[in-house]
Structure 1
Amino acid sequence: MRALELAHNMTAYNDIADVKKELQVLNQSATTNITINLDVCSVPPPKPDVFHGRDDSVKSLVEKVIEHSTQQAAANLGILGNGGLGKTSLAQTVMWERPIVERFGPRRFFLSCEPLVDATGVGAALGKLFDVPASKDILQGIITHLESHSRTLLVLDNLETVWLVPDDRARSQLELLLRRLAAIPTLTLIITSRGIVLPRGIRWANVASATLEPFSAEAALQTFDDIAGSSENDDKTERAAVVELMKDVDYMPLAVTLLAQLAQCGEKPSALLRHWKKSHTAMLKTDPLASGRETNVAASIAVSIKLLTAGSNDKEPLQLLSICAHLPAGLRTSVFGQLEPHFEDLDSARRSLKALSLISVGAQDELRMLSPIRHFVLSAHQMTADHLAAMRRIYFDIAASAPRGPSEEFTTKSTDVAAEYENLNVFLLHLINTEEPSQSLVDAVTAISHYAYWIAPSVTLLVALRNRLDGHALWLAECCQNIGRIYIHLNEYASASDALLQASEIFNRIGDRWWVAYCTLLLGECQRAQGFYEVAVQRYTAARDTFLELQDHLNASLCLMRLGDVAFYQEKYEDAKQYITLGRSAFTGESEHRLYAAHCTLSLGEIYTEEGNFAVAETELQTAQSEYQALGDQFGIGQCMRLLGDLRRRQRDFLSAEELLVSAREQFIRMGRPLDQANGIYYIGLLRRDQGRTQEALEAFRTAAQICERIEASGTLENCRLEIAGLGNVEM
């Protein structure tokens, strides 16, 4: 096998005589039945068949090796980083690069330190590798051997197993051995090791570039495709699963490789993605019976954790690591500072984690972890009670600072919560799943959900909380109401109705009429959006009557505004203007209700557009747009763009219309609002129809209709069907 491998690479050698000599040695070994120890072998391991994303690193290492090997002192180079980043693969690739092969020929040696225990073992293995006769001074024999050759390349792989050890004496002996080797002018030394620290007392030629980063997205996909036999032309759903998987594992090379090997064995990417979401790092292994670091990400990470804790009574590094594991967006400096009183030496703990590459420092000086490491630590190491209490206080305070709705100060007030939004979601979900509900937890989840409503609406936290609130009627009702409100925003009306009916039933049982009325108002929103206008009118009217009885005139005016919206959809424009104008008069001057006033202005602009009063319509729409921009309401801005685009279409200004309508559609896609996305596409269809581009118009109407069918939005669906029928007759 080794003879075939060497023969395959014969063209890379300059000196054919050296190749023949090695082949003769290999043949003699084969005929004498000598067992070959692959860890101590005179032929370098083969170059990896699949190798992407490290071109710059390979080029840099090769250039430094060649540059220094032409001078009196050869290069000493390090390849550093956490386990699973491909340090060994990079070293093996460098050994087979043409300039390296031409420079060193058969004088290229690779030694894995993984099975060794100390400097003595390394010395013995090197003696065997270089065929140095055993003696009392094996090191001197190795030095004499190396000095007798004009040049030698030696790679010491996985050096951490013999260097990063708790025994200070053993570590010093290993560093002394390395210094003796590094002092040999004819020896080019490359080491691979976990962490970011290089052995002391040696001049390293690549200190600034020694540490590897994870793959780029492109390199991760190329690696996955080469191993799994997949491509970007595969089924769209499966391809999307591959892309999401790569992102979820933070493009960690070992994780990418193992996932690809699982896919190669017949696992669909979508199934792998589901498994990852459930089991995370525990599923990143290809051999259930093996625990080796090359086939099991958890085993690889465990090696680094063991190096962190071996021989030390200092528990603070691991405690800091367990905190970082709850923060996928990183531990920011402001939070780090608030944690300092809860540690004896937090900076020392941070340095220990950095030294082993268990954390890295992000662009804003935040402490980050690769996703597979983070999930491993989450499952294996918990925060102390003191640290958990500190984190709870810090993140509850951040949640409480979140603005509840659009305002002119929305962006400035959102600075902390926006930076911590991902961390808040993960940490609060952890608390929901592991602690008994409390008022402070309910308040934090409610606050962050109100904030998210305006930027990235999600019910994940609220649904998880709802499942833990049995026996807490008021909390449960408020939670269901918030879930229903967000589902309306997401155009998921069936789910919204279910949640709101549950909330209304609980509020009614405990005698809270105001909340019953508010749920009724929101149920009217569901009916209106689905085109059930008569039922919507009944809901709005009932809610308004209750609000008036309770002297809540602002919410009664909100019901009037919604009755105006229904009248507009029923083409009762005079009634619509009357309702909406009355509503706007109630909201004007109320700073907390500027958003509702802006909506009234928007609705009036839409009515005037339908009546053909374009000048007044444009004034109203532009006024509404300015107000939404001041408040930072992206949804309102998108609505204004859509209606202004339709106004331009009616004025035959097709170029401006297209720009506005396309921008509006993209806005709604980003916000995850399918009904508004469908409306945007419908209006693009009207534009294409008026331009005489019949096929494109039909395609737009059909796409919008499909979305409406999925979310059961009958109003826009009926409009699409009418347009399709009309254009179908034109086609015929």
Structure 2
Amino acid sequence: MNRHNRQTSILQSGAITQSLELLQSLGDLTKIPGLKGIAGIIGVLVENSNATDRNREEWTSLINDVGALAVAVTGAVQDCGGHLENDILDHIANLCNKLEHVKDSLLALTDRNLALRGADQSRDAIILRRLDRDIQQCTDIFTMQCSTSIVKEVRRSEKGYSEILEGIKEVREMLLNDIKSESSKVNKSLCLQRMHDQPLLPLPRNLIGRREELERVVNTILEAQNAARIALLGTGGIGKTALASQVILDERIAERFGNRRYFIACDAANNKDDLLNLVSSKFNIKGDQLQKQVIKKLNQDKTILVLDNFESPWETIASRSEVENFLTLLTSEAENLTLLITMRGSQRPAAGKVAWTHPFIQLQPLDMESAKQLLKSVVDYPDNDPNVEGLLEAVECLPLAVELLGAQMETDSPKILLQRWQVEQSSMLTRFGTHHQSLDTSIQMSINSSRMTSAALDLLKVLSLLPDGVELKQLSDVFSSLKEPKKALATLLHISLAYYDRNKRIRVLSPIRSHMVFYHFPEYKNIVPILTYYMGLVQLTASLGGPQGIGIVKRIIPEIGNLHAVVNLVLGPKLTQYVEDNLLHGAIRAAIDLSRFFRYTELGNTETLKLALSIVSEKMSDEILKADILYNMAWSIRNSEREGLCRKAMTIYEETNNLSGQAECNWLLSKIYKGNKRNHDKASQHMKIALSIARRSGNKHCEAKCLASLSELTYHEGDVEVALQQSQDALQLFRPLEDYTNIGITLLFIGKIENNRSRYSQSLQYLNEAKNFLKKAGAYTHELTVWIELGDVWQHRGNFLEAQKAYEQVWAVVQERGLEKSYHAAYAWLSLAEAAAGLQDETTSRKWLDKAMEMFEAKRIVHGRLFCEIVYGDLAIDRGAEGYDEAAIWYRKAVKDSRLTQAVNDEALANLKYGILRTAQSEIELGLRHLMTALVLYRKSDNTAGVGKGLFRLGGLLEKMGERTGAVSVLEAAWVVCRGTEAVVELSECGRERERLTGNAWK
């Protein structure tokens, strides 16, 4: 960035003011000589620049360079973590002396201008430009000197790199040995819930003193003629989020909107795209055209949406227009949407475009009595303490400040707190000029508590790097460079800077973490043990899917946020001066490992992998590493970019003659194409190429994957025996590799085939074996599929109670693993709906079916939607002739959707159902056509029970046509087909119908 642009940026961003504030704070905290002096000198310069309107261009340039100098000094101190070497202290002292001369010259110039109105303006401009040049030179010299000093410090620490890498290996081995020793003690109550998904609704908040505002908002929503659009405005910490939370939880709002109440925290959004991703993620919407899908979702029924902290995406000038346009689109096209935003400040976004509902609501601080009640709810204090009211007045009865001060009163008396506030708050307000930093002030007061120790501060610094916190037993391992971490923890707990969450992990609240990372970044020597521990932990993912899989999953799930944070820290800018290529390379490999865990458990994200790709592209020349990232990104994401990313990886693997990489890319391309029936030939072609290359490269694991995947393609082509043989060949390769996950998946597929062939006993055998392998591997998402298939087997055998038990197990696992927002939940609901339908419980069936259909529609899962349509049709038919028209609509949709899948049996079932219905409606020709289609498809997939069902229904159709003899013959054929299987339901139906037609029972 050139100097002019840098000056403009500094002036517009308010960096001068921020740097002065930070220099003052750093001077207070670090006791470094000269820092407060420099801040004071620069403050005088800025103040005097505002005292004259002459030579504004020169003054502006001068002050911008002063700002650059403040930023440079601040950056140097922060880079050293507040612990400066003597040579840097000397640089600061020299800089302070030079600035004193600049200040004296400027004060003289200002005094002369005030005394002599006719002073020579051009001469003054020359003086200002000369002084500006001196400040520029000061900045450049100081920056160069400090950089040299820091480089020396870095070189002194380089010898520790090899020790870090060795430590990482040791940690990995220690953890893996731990898991192996504990693998027999599987914790049955393991909670696999997502740690980072926001809940659908917020937790109840303390709403003392806001009853009037709550009634206003709720009544405004309920009484509005059209959907209300409300903005809750006010300063930071005023209670906007608490009020919005209580509104959406209010029983009257719950009655109006039911389960279509959504609360979205916008803190992480910096622009319109971030905001759209947050909203679509909350609605479980993925894929292309997110905006249209969101609008469609919101238009389905009356909905209330809370966008909390909306200022986060809105405040950035560059993206404000797009954010406002998105907000306008929501309110104009989603007519059923009641929108409630909370936003810092007094300005409503998109004013004039969004019709904000009156009356406007601007939250004010609490009255004194309410503030006392709120304080009392946090800490018990003597009612007659005269300092309490003074303290509450000092913080202006701001709810957040009241709550935080209440936490302080656990250790410090109101008198001491009031004294500290008088000093710290007044100075902070003088420097900041706004209440925006009220939270930072409260946090800093906590840090400056009389109970705070240097050891506790060091622990808080490193704890703030870990969003998931740590367990108590981990303290000495993760923070091995700290002395007496348990004693330090007790201090943090006492002054409420850390807390135990519901999983008994020690955590730091997000605002405090942000404050600490910005103002109190830890020393590198205290970061090293964290890097060692978590870089070792992430290497466990290399053993995912094996015998120790469940132990690895248990160990990593509570740490997934920490792992991403640590890898991002290594890849990010804060440690650039310390990170060597080998550690950087390890972090990139860790990002790849985390993407594998994301695919395995659906926990975590792919953002770390994207960051790794940018680092490799910009700073490294390792093409294989880049290809590995591209391949794993293509495997991990679920959008239209997958094929392009995979082909980019393929090109690199081909150019480097990496056969294993080529085999893997062809395998993944086949999986991508397999999702579209029209691309079946492409999928088959790529899988065969992948198998051939895998064999040439000697990659047994990839060869086994290819055989297992080829088995599925072969089965859908109708060659059942070859498909079974390919699966068995894959198993022979997977078993020596101890790949429990793929062993289980392959056994599951064989079990499905046997179920479709009405060989239920064999199917149960394979499925139970699959369940055991997948459970040991920790592959719980695939384990869910096994439970669904087990329920299907019992349902096919006519045992709906056993089927229901299996399906209830699916839902139990979904809840236990925290997957209620995933498509797994939708399949669990569908299964429960099928079981209830089999038990003639239409009400329960529809309840689950509606939930499943909504999610399948939102996620555009055709297979799930198809089965919902079939069950809806079944429920309509159960009502008799009056439900036939409705059933026809659902079955017709099912037939249409079945053509989009590659599942032959699904297409056969849809045609069978539709053919049966049309026969019942005496539409003989149409019924016959669909029944014959079903028979052909069932025969193609070797589905004996399906063929028997088709023949049985064909017999009924012939009877309607008056072909009684033909009907008996067809029923006899159905009997012969079913007799060699366990299709007892079909056998029973054939027997009853033949006896009815002939008067003779089966022999």
Take 1:323 and 1:466, find their aligned partners in 2: how far apart are those partners?
27
TM-score with structure 1 length normalisation?
Answer: 0.57
The answer to whether residue 731 in structure 2 is matched with residue 731 in structure 1 is no
1:644 aligned onto 2:790: yes
2:726 paired with 1:573:
no
Trace 1:509-528 onto structure 2 (pairs within 5 A). Answer: 509-528=655-674
Aligned residue number for residue 204 of structure 2: 218
What residue number does 1:122 align with? Answer: none
Taking the TM superposition and a 5 Å limit, the aligned residue runs for 1:263-302 are 270-273=306-309, 275=311, 292=395, 294-295=397-398, 298-302=437-441
Write the distance in 1 (CA, Å) between the matches of 2:808 and 2:728.
30
**AA at the equivalent of 2:263:** A
User: Match of 1:617?
Assistant: 763
Whether the 8 Å contact between 1:678 and 1:705 is mirrored in structure 2 is yes
Q: 1:358 aligns with which of 494, 497, 506?
A: 497
**Structure 2 residue aligned with 1:240:** 262
Q: Assess if the C-alpha contact under 8 Å between 1:521 and 1:559 holds in 2.
A: yes
- Distance change >3 Å, CA 518–CA 372, structure 1 → 2: same
The change in CA–CA distance for 1:440 and 1:636 in structure 2 (over 3 A counts) is: same
| Alignment pair present for 1:459 and 2:598 | no
**Distance 1:415-1:665 versus aligned 2 partners, 3 A rule:** closer
For residues 589-627 of structure 1, the C-alpha deviation after alignment (integer angstroms, 9 at most, x for no partner) is x14323322222211111111111112212221222222
2:829·2:851 contact (CA, 8 Å) conserved in 1?
yes
Matched, 1:608 2:741: no
Is 1:476 aligned with 2:615? no
Shift of 1:631: 2.8
When residues 347 and 625 of structure 1 are mapped into structure 2, their CA distance, relative to the original with a 3 A threshold, is closer
CA contact (8 A) 1:702 1:724 kept: no
Cα displacement (A) at 1:506: 3.4
Q: Residue 204 of structure 2 aligns to a residue in which SS?
A: helix
Distance change (3 Å), C-alpha of 1:620 and 1:470 = same
Partner residue, 1:142: none
Whether 1:560 aligns to 2:736 is no
Q: Alpha-carbon deviation of 1:376? A: 2.5
Structure 2 residue aligned with 1:337, among 472, 476, 490? 476
Match for 2:548 among 391, 404, 409? Answer: 409
Residue 389 of structure 1 is matched in structure 2 by: 528
Q: Flag the 1:535–1:286 CA change in 2: closer, same or farther, 3 A.
A: same
Counterpart of 1:635?
A: 781
Q: What displacement does 1:699 show?
A: 7.6
CA distance in 1, matches of 2:210, 2:519: 28
User: 2:798 aligned with 1:660, yes or no?
Assistant: no
Number of the residue aligned with 1:257: none
> How is 1:194-209 mapped onto 2 (pairs within 5 angstroms)?
none
What residue in structure 2 maps to residue 599 of structure 1?
A: 745
**C-alpha distance in 2 between matches for 1:594 and 1:574:** 24
Deviation at 1:512, TM superposition (A): 2.1
Instruction: From the superposition, tell whether residues 237 and 620 of structure 1 become closer, same or farther in structure 2 (CA, over 3 Å).
Output: closer
Determine if contact 2:784/2:824 at 8 Å carries over to the other structure.
no
**Cα distance in structure 2, aligned partners of 1:674 and 1:231:** 23
What amino acid sits opposite 2:631 in the alignment?
Answer: Q
SS at match of 2:744: helix
Paired residues of 1:403 and 1:451 also in contact (CA < 8 A): no
Separation (CA, whole Å) in 1 of partners of 2:689 and 2:209: 61
Q: Which residue pairs with 1:443 in the alignment?
A: 589
Contact 1:483–1:499 (8 Å) recurs in 2: yes
Within 1, Cα distance between the matches of 2:207 and 2:684? Answer: 53
Would you say the 8 A contact 1:500–1:523 is kept in 2?
yes
Deviations, residues 440-466 of structure 1 (Å, cap 9, x unaligned): 211332334434443343323223333
Residue 576 of structure 1 and its aligned partner are, at CA, apart by 2.1
Post-superposition CA distance 1:83-142 (Å, at most 9, x none): xxxxxxxxxxxxxxxxxxxxxxxxxxxxxxxxxxxxxxxxxxxxxxxxxxxxxxxxxxxx
Contact 2:452 2:492 in 1 (8 A): no
The CA deviation string for residues 408-441 of structure 1, in whole angstroms up to 9 with x for no partner, is: 3234445653443332233333433335581121
TM-score under structure 2 length normalisation: 0.43
State the 1:272 CA deviation. 1.9
Q: Is the 8 A contact 1:323 1:383 kept in 2?
A: yes
Deviates more, 1:216-225 or 1:642-651: 216-225
Deviating more after overlay: 671-680 vs 527-536: 671-680
**Is the counterpart of residue 425 in structure 1 residue 598 in structure 2?**
no
Shift of 1:372: 2.6
Q: Which residue of 2 aligns with 1:508?
A: 654
Q: How far apart are the structure 2 equivalents of 1:501 and 1:223?
A: 60
What secondary structure sits across from 1:483 in the alignment?
Answer: helix
Structure 2 Cα separation of the partners of residues 304 and 712 of structure 1: 46
The alpha carbon displacement at 1:339 in A equals 6.5
Structure 2: unaligned runs, 5 residues or longer: 1-201, 218-246, 268-303, 316-341, 348-363, 366-393, 402-436, 878-882, 886-1003
Percent identity between matched residues is 13
Shift of 1:643: 0.6
Contact (CA 8 Å) 2:479, 2:526: kept in 1 or not? no
Structure (1 or 2) with the greater helix fraction: 2
Shift of 1:651: 1.1
Q: CA deviation at 1:702?
A: 7.0
Deviations 1:176-210 (A, max 9, x none): xxxxxxxxxxxxxxxxxxxxxxxxxxxxxxxxxxx
Partners of 1:617 and 1:673 lie apart in 2 by: 30
One-letter amino acid of the structure 2 residue matched with residue 271 of structure 1: L
Q: Distance in 1 between matches of 2:850 and 2:731?
A: 36
Q: Give distance in 1, aligned partners of 2:501 and 2:848.
A: 43
**1:367-400 C-alpha deviation (Å, 9 max, x unpaired):** 4323332232233321222223332223212222
What amino acid is aligned across from residue 601 of structure 1 in structure 2? L
Map 1:177-196 onto structure 2 (within 5 A): none
Change over 3 Å in CA distance of 1:269–1:392 after alignment to 2: farther
Q: How far apart are the structure 2 equivalents of 1:350 and 1:509? A: 54
Deviation at 1:524, TM superposition (A): 1.8
Tell me if the contact between 2:265 and 2:308 (Cα under 8 Å) persists in the aligned partners.
Answer: no
CA distance in 1, matches of 2:585, 2:547: 30
- 1:641 Cα deviation (Å)? 0.7
Q: Structure 1, unaligned stretches of length 5 or more?
A: 1-215, 246-267
Deviations 1:649-696 (A, max 9, x none): 111111121222243256457447855555555555554555556787
Deviation at 1:502, TM superposition (A): 3.6
Q: Is residue 446–residue 497 contact of structure 2 (8 Å, CA) maintained in 1?
A: no
One-letter amino acid matched to 1:485: W
Work out the CA distance in 2 between the residues paired with 1:274 and 1:314. Answer: 37
Contact kept? 1:408, 1:632, Cα under 8 Å: no
Structure 1 pair 231–338 and aligned structure 2 pair: CA distance change class (3 A): closer
**d(CA) in 1 for partners of 2:448 and 2:842?**
70
Q: What corresponds to 2:922 in structure 1?
A: none
> For each residue in 1:149-177, what CA deviation from the matched residue of structure 2 results, as whole angstroms up to 9, or x when unmatched?
xxxxxxxxxxxxxxxxxxxxxxxxxxxxx
Checking the alignment, whether the CA contact within 8 Å between 1:238 and 1:270 is kept in structure 2 is no
What secondary structure does 1:271 align onto?
A: strand
